[in-house]
């Protein structure tokens, strides 16, 4: 390894993931460097399946694509999926590894996890020239710093040059940068080489006094990144403020407490009126209602009933809406969920929403695979259209009216405006989405529209062209 670069943030959501993507893509596309991403531990409900059948965070998956390397859990050895308030489901080196509670997470198990992170880093150090290490949250949390295995510890271990990012759009950036620097030790501060004020809108001359202050105090330069409107996947947050068009169909995604893989719906942004909601009126008046994937299917099923959403879904269906269940949402739509081994809840059988005939059986073995196939040919309008995506699930559901044929086997359910599937990434298939959505538009009296979805790496390249001079400035300030 020639050098490691650390991308740290003053807080969650500062822009570490996007900046890491931009920096990796710049290094690969314009400097032609051998670069790979790394995030030792990521807490997120958005995951992807690698070509080898391992699970990893979506963020590092796309960072690997930006680096033009095959996505692998070596770039994200520990993935935590929040479940109960004090418990997370662990994926270690791409495979399920049980649960961990918050007390063990900040105590005895941290050193074991660090050894896993260090082993992966050691491999990357030996096999690649550059590593871009993304941190998590803030590197200077007083109550967590001594347990840190994701921020300063890998930075110090690899002798990385650090970038400290603050989100100026939310305000308080200068105070956050100073506060973070003062809470770092002198040795840790020495690794910070450049500050980044991210998501700035307006006249940059207004920042001069603050930038000058930071340089006088720390002798560290600052680079300003403008606010960028983009459709890159979010690491673990729903996109907000999605514009609506009155003359189009509305797709309502039920925002359950343990909703997973919400990036399934990124391709719909700008193509339909997309809302994430638990509002009964929204659901009853939607043209399409989607129950998304879930980390805790039975618990989310209880939530749906407690909020009266089950009745609203049925009301929407009876009024002509399409009801779609993806993965955990598909399981909820069946007649029952049988969890004899207590994989997701107490052992037992649970009544489903009974819109899809058949039962879901939870099994200990987790299915992780890339899948491709086509819509069943007997289905009007969309039959025979090719689709591909991935599967992450414990349950098995057999129905008498499958929706897809994936990897040579039937998947899901399709009948009378009710659809279920285990396939994540369904709407990223442009031909399917255009035909399916226009079929619904025709039923609802709307005109056809082209379906426009740009692959995240194409979107990344577009953004990079706009901000390339700023990324070059950051690169110049690093000790390369």
Estimate the share of the chain in helix, then strand, then coil, as percent rounded to the nearest 5.
35, 30, 35
Q: Confirm whether 327 is a catalytic residue.
A: yes
Q: Measure the CA–CA gap between 239 and 237, rounded to whole angstroms.
A: 6
- CB of 51 within 8 A of CB of 446? no
Q: Looking at 393, 394, 424, 477, which residue is catalytic?
A: 424
Cβ-based neighbours of 365, under 8 Å, separated by 6 or more:
394
Of 452, 447, 450, the C-alpha closest to 435 is 450
Q: How far is CA 331 from CA 119, 224, 291, 359, 378, in A?
A: 38, 46, 10, 8, 23
**Residues 94-124: b if buried by 16+ CB within 10 A, e if exposed:** bebeeebeeeebeeeebeebbebbbebbeeb
Distance of CA 96 to the CA centre of its chain: 18
417 classed as catalytic: no
Element (H, E) at 229: none
- Are 231 and 454 spatial neighbours (Cβ–Cβ below 8 Å)? yes
Q: Cα–Cα distance between 165 and 439 in angstroms, integer?
A: 45
Element (H, E) at 276: strand 273-277
Instruction: Give the C-alpha distances (Å, rounded to integers) separating 414 from 301, 371, 376, 405.
Output: 21, 18, 9, 12
Half-sphere exposure in the Cβ direction for 469 (13 Å, CA): 3
Active site residue: 327, 393, 394, 477, which one?
A: 327
Give, as one character, the DSSP assignment of residue 200. Answer: E
Are 344 and 297 in contact by the 8 Å Cβ rule? The answer is yes
Q: Which of 133, 139, 152 shows the shortest CA–CA distance to 40?
A: 133
Give one DSSP letter per residue of 93-116, joined into a string.
TTEEEEEEEHHHHTTHHHHHHHHH
* Selection from 153, 231, 215, 147 nearest residue 181 by Cα: 215
The residues, any chain, with a CB within 8 Å of residue 53's CB and separated by 6 or more, are 368, 369, 370
Question: In the block, which residue shows the tokens 């169909």?
Answer: 249
10 Å Cβ neighbour count for 336?
15
Distance of alpha carbon 309 from its chain centroid, rounded?
Answer: 25
Q: How many helices (H) and strands (E) does the chain have?
A: 14, 26
Residues marked active site are found at: 327, 424
């Amino acid at each position: 390894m020639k050098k490691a670069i650390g991308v740290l943030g003053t807080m969650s959501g500062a822009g570490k993931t996007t900046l890491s993507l931009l920096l990796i893509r710049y290094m690969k596309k314009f400097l032609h460097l051998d670069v790979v991403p790394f995030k030792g531990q990521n807490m997120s409900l958005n995951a992807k399946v690698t070509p080898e059948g391992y699970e990893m965070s979506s963020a590092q998956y796309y960072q690997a694509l930006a680096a033009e390397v095959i996505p692998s859990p070596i770039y994200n050895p520990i993935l935590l999926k929040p479940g109960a308030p004090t418990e997370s489901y662990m994926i270690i080196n791409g495979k399920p590894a049980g649960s961990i509670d918050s007390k063990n997470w900040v105590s005895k198990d941290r050193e074991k996890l660090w050894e896993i992170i260090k082993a992966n880093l050691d491999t990357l150090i030996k096999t690649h020239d550059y590593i871009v290490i993304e941190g998590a949250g803030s590197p200077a949390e007083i109550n967590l710093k001594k347990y840190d295995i994701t921020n300063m510890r890998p930075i110090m271990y690899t002798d990385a040059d650090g970038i400290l990012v603050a989100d100026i759009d939310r305000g308080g950036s200068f105070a956050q940068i100073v506060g973070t620097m003062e809470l770092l030790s002198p040795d840790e501060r020495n690794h910070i080489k450049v500050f980044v004020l991210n998501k700035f809108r307006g006249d940059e001359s207004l920042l001069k006094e603050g930038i000058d202050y930071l340089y006088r105090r720390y002798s560290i330069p600052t680079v300003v990144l403008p606010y960028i409107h983009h459709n890159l996947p979010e690491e673990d947050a729903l996109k907000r403020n999605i514009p609506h068009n009155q003359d189009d169909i509305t797709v309502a995604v039920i925002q359950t407490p343990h909703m997973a893989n919400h990036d399934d719906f990124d391709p719909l942004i700008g193509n339909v009126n997309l809302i994430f909601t638990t509002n009964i009126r929204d659901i009853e008046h939607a043209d399409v209602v989607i129950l998304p994937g879930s980390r805790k299917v039975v618990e989310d099923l209880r939530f749906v009933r407690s909020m009266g959403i089950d009745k609203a879904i049925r009301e929407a269906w009876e009024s002509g809406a399409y009801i779609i269940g993806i993965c955990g949402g598909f399981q909820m739509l069946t007649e029952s969920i049988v969890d004899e081994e207590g994989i997701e809840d107490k052992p037992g059988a649970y009544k489903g929403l009974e819109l899809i005939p058949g039962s879901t059986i939870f099994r200990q073995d987790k299915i992780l695979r890339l899948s491709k196939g086509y819509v069943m040919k007997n289905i009007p309008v969309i039959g025979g259209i090719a689709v591909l995506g991935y599967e992450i699930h414990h349950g098995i559901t057999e129905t008498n009216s499958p929706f897809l044929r994936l990897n040579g086997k039937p998947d899901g359910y399709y009948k009378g405006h009710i659809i279920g599937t285990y396939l994540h990434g369904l709407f990223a298939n442009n031909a399917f989405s255009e035909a399916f959505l226009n079929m619904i538009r025709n039923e609802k009296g709307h005109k056809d529209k082209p379906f426009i979805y740009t692959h995240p790496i194409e979107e990344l390249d577009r953004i990079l062209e706009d901000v390339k001079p700023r990324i070059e400035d950051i690169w110049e300030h690093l000790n390369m």
